[in-house]
């Protein structure tokens, strides 16, 4: 690694009206280095990335790039200089080809027409130079898997002759193999001397792919350390500002009578699934993508028609025709798709929190919504879940991922459900927000609620649940209790079919 940094920020500060988003942050990035940037939501990571990438201009401080002080006024200035950002939400045009997306607004021309031969040749050169030679330059982006789209976004960044690439939560929508492919590409970029800043809430990724870790809290740098000398406990405690003895939390509760039970339910994907959750219990469901976890939850609430079997609520047979029927009967589902199904961007926090309650007739009298009562209830639940925002009138779009997730949970809990089905409630949020949600889940169980917790993160399934169902290809393959809930068993059964199909306790 060279001794001179390719990028350096000195006392970088960004002030928005009434808020210091970044406070005297000094950072160094060296050629060929992967620098992990971590911190809770609201710690200043995105602000720092946008300052480096020319989206914002600093209120104070300096940015040095390749040894010279720079003043990027627009993202294009940063791009032209060789600094690219790969955002969590990919910025590709679906109906265009790979090559057209990479060179959008810069298509090579000859005699006034697009020089397609040169376009495809230039695209192949970029792809092959980064180990992405398997991507067809002519392929339409809409037809590509998400992992390949991510590679196209990286290739687009490289097409600007990037010397620095900033990755913002790049694996949020990727599968395990796609993450490994991304890491392989990043390592090739390192070999070419490209400096990389890698932002992620997944600490296992930070420890696997980075050389150093830069930790932010409340807009300030609190630690910078070589990755090889760091451990998870140290990083988390610096992020949240307190010692963490155990990230995961089960609480103290004793499972009671069965609240919700499925017996042999099936549809065009689910295959004779048996399942139950008791009051004062947290049941985990774990399986790989496509295992049927979400399909099971949606079948239980009437969002998917059941072809066979039956569902019982408090011992009484039910068949919900619509999720609203489930809500009215005390069963609530919180979707894994925070942006697509759970939140309504362009609307304030309070409207998002009360949306489902209004749909089932709460806060409505004689056909009119009781807005004062609605706002008061929303405010109460926003406080109860510690939603951090200046007021409940803030557009939910402007909240951090962790606070958006808290709004999703408030939206569910305001209905005072007895059975709570949570699908990936901690996806894409920081460790501090996860800790709050783990505590909330345990508290709900202690209050006598029946909680179902679907997660793709094995440690939290093991650390936060009382009982675990594993699923594969639409079937329950095992039911695990006590000491049997361990990494080896969970992984073994989620890869098997019929090992313990239909098991119940």
In the chain, how many domains are there? Answer: 2
Clarify whether residues 270 and 219 are in a common domain.
no
135 occurs within a structural domain: yes
Clarify whether residues 189 and 295 are in a common domain.
no
Q: Of 263, 274, 207, which Cα lies nearest the Cα of 36?
A: 207
pLDDT of residue 245: 60
Tell me the average pLDDT across 157-182. 83
| pLDDT of 503 above 60 | no
pLDDT of residue 69: 95
| pLDDT of 307 above 60 | yes
Calpha distance 375→392 (Å, rounded): 8
Tell me the average pLDDT across 193-213. 93
Which of the residue ranges 19-33, 207-221, 387-401 would you say has the lowest mean pLDDT? 387-401
Which of the residue ranges 15-19, 184-188, 491-495 would you say has the lowest mean pLDDT? 15-19
Clarify whether residues 123 and 33 are in a common domain.
yes
452 occurs within a structural domain: yes
369 occurs within a structural domain: no
Tell me the average pLDDT across 436-441. 91
Clarify whether residues 122 and 266 are in a common domain.
no
Looking at the DSSP bridge assignments, the partners of residue 68 are 65
pLDDT of residue 246: 67
Measured CA to CA in angstroms, residue 327 lies from 324, 381, 422 at distances of: 5, 17, 14
Residue 445: strand, helix, or coil: helix
Q: Of 223, 224, 196, 220, which Cα lies nearest the Cα of 210?
A: 196
Q: What is the DSSP string of 48-75?
A: HHHHHTTSS--SEEEEEETTEEE---SH
Measured CA to CA in angstroms, residue 59 lies from 43, 51, 81, 136 at distances of: 17, 10, 21, 44
Judge whether 153 and 91 are in contact, CB under 8 Å.
yes
363 occurs within a structural domain: no
Judge whether 106 and 161 are in contact, CB under 8 Å.
no
Q: Of 409, 332, 410, 340, which Cα lies nearest the Cα of 374?
A: 410
Clarify whether residues 219 and 279 are in a common domain.
no
Q: Which residue has the higher pLDDT, 67 or 89?
A: 67
What is the enclosing helix (H) or strand (E) of 444? helix 431-446
pLDDT of residue 156: 86
Long-range contacts: 402-405, Cβ < 8 Å, 24+? 402/40, 402/41, 402/42, 402/429, 402/430, 402/432, 402/433, 402/434, 402/436, 403/41, 403/42, 403/433, 404/338, 404/343, 405/338, 405/429, 405/433, 405/437
pLDDT of residue 66: 94
Clarify whether residues 143 and 292 are in a common domain.
no
Calpha distance 431→219 (Å, rounded): 16
Tell me the CATH number at 316.
3.40.50.300
Tell me the average pLDDT across 272-295. 92
3-state secondary structure 313-365: ECCEEECCCCHHHHHHCCEEEECCCHHHHHCCCCCEHHHHHHHHHHHCCCCEE
Please say which residue of 208, 240, 272 terminates a domain. 240
Domain that holds residue 318: 258-330+417-494
Q: Which residue has the tokens 């070999």?
A: 191
| pLDDT of 87 above 70 | yes
Clarify whether residues 201 and 263 are in a common domain.
no
pLDDT of residue 352: 95
Clarify whether residues 48 and 192 are in a common domain.
yes
195 occurs within a structural domain: yes
pLDDT tens digits, 440-495: 999 999 999 999 999 988 889 999 999 999 999 899 999 999 999 988 888 888 87
Which of the residue ranges 128-132, 254-258, 464-468 would you say has the lowest mean pLDDT? 128-132
Quote the mean pLDDT of the chain. 89
Q: What is the DSSP string of 195-264?
A: EEEEE-S-HHHHHHH-SEEEEEETTEEEEEEEGGG--HHHHHHHHHTS--S-S----S----SEEEEEEE
Clarify whether residues 228 and 280 are in a common domain.
no
| pLDDT of 504 above 60 | no
| pLDDT of 366 above 60 | yes
| pLDDT of 1 above 50 | no
Work out whether the CA dihedral 317, 319, 323, 325 comes out positive or negative.
Answer: negative
Q: Of 449, 455, 388, 378, which Cα lies nearest the Cα of 416?
A: 449
Clarify whether residues 230 and 263 are in a common domain.
no
Clarify whether residues 166 and 30 are in a common domain.
yes
| pLDDT of 90 above 80 | no
Tell me the average pLDDT across 90-110. 90
486 occurs within a structural domain: yes
Calpha distance 36→481 (Å, rounded): 37
Judge whether 38 and 216 are in contact, CB under 8 Å.
yes
Please say which residue of 240, 275, 305 terminates a domain. 240
191 occurs within a structural domain: yes
pLDDT of residue 498: 42
Measured CA to CA in angstroms, residue 263 lies from 170, 310, 480 at distances of: 40, 5, 18
pLDDT of residue 16: 82
| pLDDT of 410 above 90 | yes
pLDDT tens digits, 205-252: 999 999 999 999 889 999 999 999 998 888 888 887 766 566 788 888
Please say which residue of 240, 267, 288 terminates a domain. 240
Tell me the average pLDDT across 416-442. 88
Clarify whether residues 87 and 168 are in a common domain.
yes
285 occurs within a structural domain: yes
Looking at the DSSP bridge assignments, the partners of residue 384 are none
């Amino acid at each position: 690694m060279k001794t001179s940094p390719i990028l350096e920020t000195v006392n970088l500060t960004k002030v928005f009206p009434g808020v210091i988003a970044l406070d005297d942050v000094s950072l160094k990035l060296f050629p060929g280095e992967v620098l992990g940037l971590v911190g809770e939501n609201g710690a200043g990571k995105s602000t720092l990335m946008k300052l480096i990438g020319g989206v914002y201009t600093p209120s104070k401080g300096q940015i040095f790039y390749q040894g010279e002080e720079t003043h990027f006024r627009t993202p294009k200035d940063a791009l032209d200089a060789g600094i690219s950002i790969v955002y969590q939400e990919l910025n590709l045009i679906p109906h265009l080809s790979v090559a057209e997306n990479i060179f959008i607004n810069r298509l090579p021309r000859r005699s006034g027409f697009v020089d397609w031969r040169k376009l495809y040749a230039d695209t192949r050169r970029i792809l092959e130079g980064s180990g992405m030679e398997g991507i067809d330059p002519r392929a339409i982006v809409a037809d590509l898997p998400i992992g390949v789209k991510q590679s196209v976004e990286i290739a687009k960044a490289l097409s600007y002759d990037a010397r620095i690439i900033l990755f913002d939560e790049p694996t949020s929508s990727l599968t395990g193999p796609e993450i490994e492919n991304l890491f392989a590409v990043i390592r090739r970029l390192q070999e070419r001397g490209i400096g990389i800043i890698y932002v992620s809430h997944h600490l296992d990724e930070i420890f696997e792919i980075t050389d150093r870790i830069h930790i932010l809290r409340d807009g300030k740098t609190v630690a910078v350390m070589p990755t090889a000398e760091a451990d998870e406990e140290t990083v988390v405690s610096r992020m949240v500002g307190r010692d963490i003895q155990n990230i995961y939390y089960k609480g103290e509760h004793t499972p009671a009578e069965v609240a919700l039970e499925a017996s042999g339910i099936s549809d065009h994907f689910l295959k004779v699934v048996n399942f139950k959750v008791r009051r004062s219990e947290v049941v985990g469901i774990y399986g790989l993508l496509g295992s049927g976890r979400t399909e099971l939850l949606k079948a239980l609430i009437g969002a998917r028609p059941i072809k066979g079997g039956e569902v019982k609520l408090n011992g009484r047979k039910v068949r919900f025709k619509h999720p609203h029927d489930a809500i009215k009967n005390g069963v609530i589902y919180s979707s894994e798709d925070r942006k697509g199904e759970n939140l309504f961007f362009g609307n304030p926090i309070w409207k998002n929190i009360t949306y489902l309650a209004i749909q089932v007739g709460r806060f409505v009298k004689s056909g009119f919504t009781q807005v004062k009562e609605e706002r008061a209830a929303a405010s109460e639940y926003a406080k109860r879940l510690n939603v951090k925002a200046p007021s409940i009138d803030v557009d939910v779009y402007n909240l951090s991922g962790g606070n958006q997730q808290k709004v999703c949970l408030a939206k569910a809990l305001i209905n005072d459900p007895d059975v709570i089905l949570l699908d990936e409630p901690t996806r894409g949020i920081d460790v501090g927000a996860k800790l709050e949600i783990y505590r909330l889940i345990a508290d709900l169980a202690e209050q006598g609620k029946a909680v179902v917790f679907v997660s793709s993160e094995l440690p939290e399934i093991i650390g936060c649940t009382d009982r675990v169902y594993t699923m594969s290809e639409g079937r329950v393959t095992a039911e695990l209790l006590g000491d049997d809930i361990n990494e080896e068993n969970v992984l073994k059964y989620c890869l098997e079919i019929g090992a313990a199909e239909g098991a119940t306790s």
